[in-house]
Amino acid sequence: MEAQQLTTLTGVIDKKMNRQLKQYMDICARCAICKDACHQYVGTGDFTYLPARRAELIRQIYKKYFDKAGRFVPALYEARDPDENLLDELYESTYACTGCRRCMYYCPFSIDTAWILSVAKAILIAAGRGNEMLGQLADAAIFKGDNAAMFEGVMLSGFEDISEEVRAITGNPEHQVHVNKEGADILYVALAGAHSIRPAAVIFEEAGESWTISMFEAANYGYFYGDAEKARLITKRYIDEAKRLGVKEIVVPECGHAYRVAEIFYEAWSGEPMPFKVSHILEKVDEYIKAGRITVDRDKIDGTVTYHDPCQIGRNGGVFDAPRDIVRAVTSRFVELTPNREQQWCCGGGGGIVAMEEFKDVRLKSGGKKVEQLKASGASVLACPCENCRLQIEELNEVHGLGLEVWQVIDLVVAAMPFKATPEADAATM
């Protein structure tokens, strides 16, 4: 490795390593409790995906350049240069990680491997080895934000199509997707697909909510890629939009990382407080049901229903009860997966891995625990408020012949709401 590149990479480590991360470098006891907590290691048995091993690669570079003992006697302290072999290994172990932080939950020292891997991603990007697909998705999102006028026409046309679908579902000719509505209470920042807008619009309109939709989306591939500046830019677009429209609250859709980005990471990336209250859409829907602002009929949903806690919403976001209360409101046949809540197994689809074809085999193998849970539950319907989780579980469903129906929670809610519309229109919600 050339001296200049080495200086760049060690500079990245020096800049990223705060006191907490340095402590992580020192305290891992190699107890390997994390091996039984990681769905990828359990599913593959491959050392590359052992959480402690993932972190160890960073620790080895750190020891070589920032630890006296490692610097002078590298062989004794397992200190290594960030050579091509190490970077190859680092790429595989880092971008395969779904960032579920189940290893941290079980670690006796609460070592946050996902945080350590944010350093690994910064190193890989500095070495020109960032994941190409995630980088492209992040750049495309930034391009859309920088050239919003270019896409305004197709987006407005799409919103109008969705408005017609909403009116067909609810039977109310006044209902619509509100766009650029100044002074609305809520800015709903959806995903790019109509599926995250249509049911939300039905619920907001039926609840009589004062809302408007964002021209920008909540998904943030800059975060998965590991580039904090790109991630900040993608988030800042809708923060600026919220300021311009004068809303009081930002509501994010059924997407795991989008909630965590808005609620937790934006402040760290931008160095400024998040100027708005951030809610997950299921927190709003739960409020509407409990306040009687929307009505749901219990047991319109056929079958036994279970709920998967997406890691970024549950274990890492702290939202456990609102989704469960919603599901219980629409069915009396609710069963939990075991384990659940903070101990829930990752499905294997997080961290942007569903977009990275090179990790498909690892991804499907790492879903083994989720398949076991789903089979044991006896459920025929799965409610899951995260896009990446649904993509993964739908694929596991197909591969393992589980016979599950995989639903967004808000789609279950809309299916349980009584409308004036025709049965044909009801079918449009499915």
Shortest gap between Cβ of 270 and another protein (angstroms)? 23
Q: Which of 238, 194, 247, 197 is nearest to 218 (CA)?
A: 238
User: What distance in Å separates the CA atoms of residue 362 and residue 200, rounded to the nearest whole number?
Assistant: 34
**Residues found near another protein in the complex (CB under 8 A):** 133, 136-137, 139-144, 147, 150-151, 154-155, 157-158, 161-162, 191-195, 217, 219, 221, 354-355, 357, 387, 391
User: What distance in Å separates the CA atoms of residue 288 and residue 286, rounded to the nearest whole number?
Assistant: 5
Shortest gap between Cβ of 232 and another protein (angstroms)? 18
DSSP structure string for 85-138: HHHHHHHHHHHH-----HHHHH-TT---HHHHHHHHHHHHHHTT-S-HHHHHHH
Pairing state between β 277-280 and 249-252: parallel
User: What distance in Å separates the CA atoms of residue 174 and residue 157, rounded to the nearest whole number?
Assistant: 18
Pick the closer one to another protein by CB: 57 or 383. Answer: 383
Pick the closer one to another protein by CB: 217 or 263. Answer: 217
Pick the closer one to another protein by CB: 335 or 391. Answer: 391
E strand spans, 354-393: 381-383
Shortest gap between Cβ of 191 and another protein (angstroms)? 7
Residue 410 makes CB contacts below 8 A (sequence gap 6+) with 199, 200, 203, 254, 281, 282, 285, 385
22: enclosing H helix or E strand: helix 19-27
Q: How far is CA 16 from the centre of its chain?
A: 23
Pick the closer one to another protein by CB: 59 or 230. Answer: 230
Helix and strand element counts for the chain (H, E): 23, 8
Shortest gap between Cβ of 173 and another protein (angstroms)? 22
Pick the closer one to another protein by CB: 91 or 221. Answer: 221
Pick the closer one to another protein by CB: 24 or 95. Answer: 95
Shortest gap between Cβ of 57 and another protein (angstroms)? 27
Say which residue the tokens 């219980």 belong to.
328
Pick the closer one to another protein by CB: 142 or 264. Answer: 142
Burial of 147 (0-12, 13-18, 19+ CB in 10 A): exposed
Shortest gap between Cβ of 144 and another protein (angstroms)? 4
Pick the closer one to another protein by CB: 116 or 364. Answer: 364
Shortest gap between Cβ of 85 and another protein (angstroms)? 26
Shortest gap between Cβ of 217 and another protein (angstroms)? 8
Q: State the helix-helix crossing angle for 409-416 and 198-207, rounded to 10 degrees.
A: 50
